[in-house]
Structure 1
Amino acid sequence: MNIYPAIDIRKGKCVRLNQGDFSKETVYLEDPTEAAKRWQNKGAKWIHVVDLDGAKSGNPVNIDVIKRIRKTVDVNIQLGGGIRDEETAENYINLGIDRIIFGSSAVKNLSLIETAIKKFGAEKVAVGLDVRKDEVAINGWVKDSGVKTEEMLKKLKNTGLKTIIYTDISKDGMMQGPNIAGIEKVLSFDDFSVIASGGISSMQDLEQLARYEKKGLDGAIIGKALYNGTLNLKAVLEQFSLQ
């Protein structure tokens, strides 16, 4: 399966949050490009980048940092945070971003997803389902949308979307393992390739996820466990990465 080391950017720095709480932030690197180089050097084929300030504000904020990351590494980059209109999406695609992630905009403007897929291709588009107590959260996880996970999946079913990134917010940054039941729910639709996120902190977690590859699991996003050394990316890639 694909392994996606995460780089979350806030105020230009590489950080991790606990459960998406902006008041529970740990700064790991002053320059996020150092993280990008580190993960590339350890063998990553993809990097998962999030503009946290952009996700909260609704507009790209850390675009200069993202440009530097893109120029610094040759690996594939998927990017989310503040992508809420066609122009922003196109700007990032033109910048060389390999996959853009719509979050809040998917809840608020489903036609934007359809337009982006038609314009850029399904392989270039993903939707991030950030879930708290089975309800999709928006605006950088600050607000609840009132939309249940299953309801959102039904809406996305006929858009042409292929890739969903499922994050259980309660698990994110907590090092307690992923929400397998939630991942199973998304996989049960059989329409989507699913990237699991939130709480992945051990080889056992990854072994558990790997069992779902034949059911449509594309891969896993790993954040805090890489930064604090609980997981070694090179070892993870040797055991789980697509060859």
Structure 2
Amino acid sequence: MLEIFPAIDLKDGQAVRLHQGDMASAKIYGNAKEFARKFQDMGSKWVHVVDLNGAFCGEPKNLKEIEAIRKSCNLKIQLGGGIRDEKTIKRYVDMGIDRLVLGSVAMKNPSFVKEMAVSYKIAVGIDAKKGMVATEGWAQTSEMQALDLAREFKSTSIDALICTDIGRDGCLNGLNIDLTLQIAKVSDHFCIASGGLKDEKDVLELEKEFKRQNIKGGVIIGKAYYEGRVDLESILKRFA
């Protein structure tokens, strides 16, 4: 069964969405904790939260808002953005965060991420720009291929992989299902698709391909919900 992850991106304490990771493009949608409660009322099990300010500067920047989200709902929280060391991981675990997403540090220090995954619920975020890994809140593009980074974590203790096509993120022009499938195959982990989802057909197509290829995973739904392109409650009921 496909796992659904409604998303909240935090910038300066507010729920926003970006276009292709450009902070200047941020569109404000409102109060983050209110969205978390809405997702819970719709029947979601998870909420995917990103500290955008933290992703760009490499340390937590929206702690107050993240704690408010945690206190406002009973959802499982998957959180990324600016998590670079064990001290930050412990801080979030103590706050009650259920799964931590490590992105930039996964490419720069994969051994650290593997070590953390033994003790904590860790997802590796693979953000791809034309097939290459992007880091530091997508501000920098590396020379490493996304598939090579995914292979690095095969047969490790990580909880999941999150595959984001930056070129599609916030564009509402469709998921990169092919890239998601490739990353799932080479890593052999639970794989979450992200970036560009445009409508419910995208969700159904992803589910069909996951089933056909015996892949377990999920999908992050962000801008398509905020812009009224999908009936999130209906999707959540379908995959409950």
Q: In the TM superposition, what are the counterparts of 1:163-202 in structure 2 within 5 Å?
A: 163-189=160-186, 191-202=188-199
Instruction: Please say if 1:11 is aligned against 2:8.
Output: no
Displacement after TM superposition at 1:190 (Å): 5.4
Which residue of structure 1 aligns with residue 201 of structure 2?
A: 204
Return the match for 1:150 from 138, 147, 150.
Answer: 147
Which residue of structure 1 aligns with residue 67 of structure 2?
A: 67
Q: How far apart are the structure 2 equivalents of 1:185 and 1:160?
A: 20
Aligned partner of 2:80: which letter?
A: G
Which residue of structure 2 aligns with residue 113 of structure 1?
A: 113
Aligned partner of 1:235: which letter?
A: S
Which residue of structure 2 aligns with residue 95 of structure 1?
A: 95
Percent of paired sites with the same residue = 41
Aligned partner of 1:51: which letter?
A: D
Q: How far apart are the structure 1 equivalents of 2:201 and 2:231?
A: 13
Q: How far apart are the structure 2 equivalents of 1:133 and 1:114?
A: 26
Displacement after TM superposition at 1:162 (Å): 3.7
Which residue of structure 1 aligns with residue 219 of structure 2?
A: 220
Aligned partner of 2:53: which letter?
A: D
Contact preservation (8 Å) 2:107, 2:149: yes
Q: In the TM superposition, what are the counterparts of 1:42-81 in structure 2 within 5 Å?
A: 42-81=42-81
Contact preservation (8 Å) 1:86, 1:112: no
Secondary structure of the 1:56 match is helix
Contact preservation (8 Å) 1:54, 1:81: yes
Q: Once the two structures are superposed, what CA deviation does each residue of 1:65-100 show, in whole Å capped at 9, x if it has no partner?
A: 000000000010000000000110111111100000
Aligned partner of 2:236: which letter?
A: L
Instruction: Please say if 1:139 is aligned against 2:136.
Output: yes
Contact preservation (8 Å) 1:201, 1:222: no
Which residue of structure 1 aligns with residue 34 of structure 2?
A: 34
TM-score (norm 2): 0.95
Contact preservation (8 Å) 1:9, 1:32: yes
Displacement after TM superposition at 1:184 (Å): 1.8
Displacement after TM superposition at 1:224 (Å): 0.5
Contact preservation (8 Å) 2:154, 2:188: yes
Alignment RMSD (CA, Å): 1.2
Q: How far apart are the structure 1 equivalents of 2:167 and 2:236?
A: 26
- Would you say how many aligned residue pairs link Structure 1 and Structure 2? 237
Displacement after TM superposition at 1:154 (Å): 2.1
Q: How far apart are the structure 2 equivalents of 1:118 and 1:190?
A: 17
Displacement after TM superposition at 1:161 (Å): 2.2
Secondary structure of the 2:186 match is coil
Which residue of structure 1 aligns with residue 231 of structure 2?
A: 232
Aligned partner of 1:231: which letter?
A: V
Q: How far apart are the structure 2 equivalents of 1:101 and 1:49?
A: 10
Displacement after TM superposition at 1:24 (Å): 1.1
Displacement after TM superposition at 1:52 (Å): 0.1
Unmatched tracts of structure 2, length 5 or more: none
Aligned partner of 2:79: which letter?
A: L
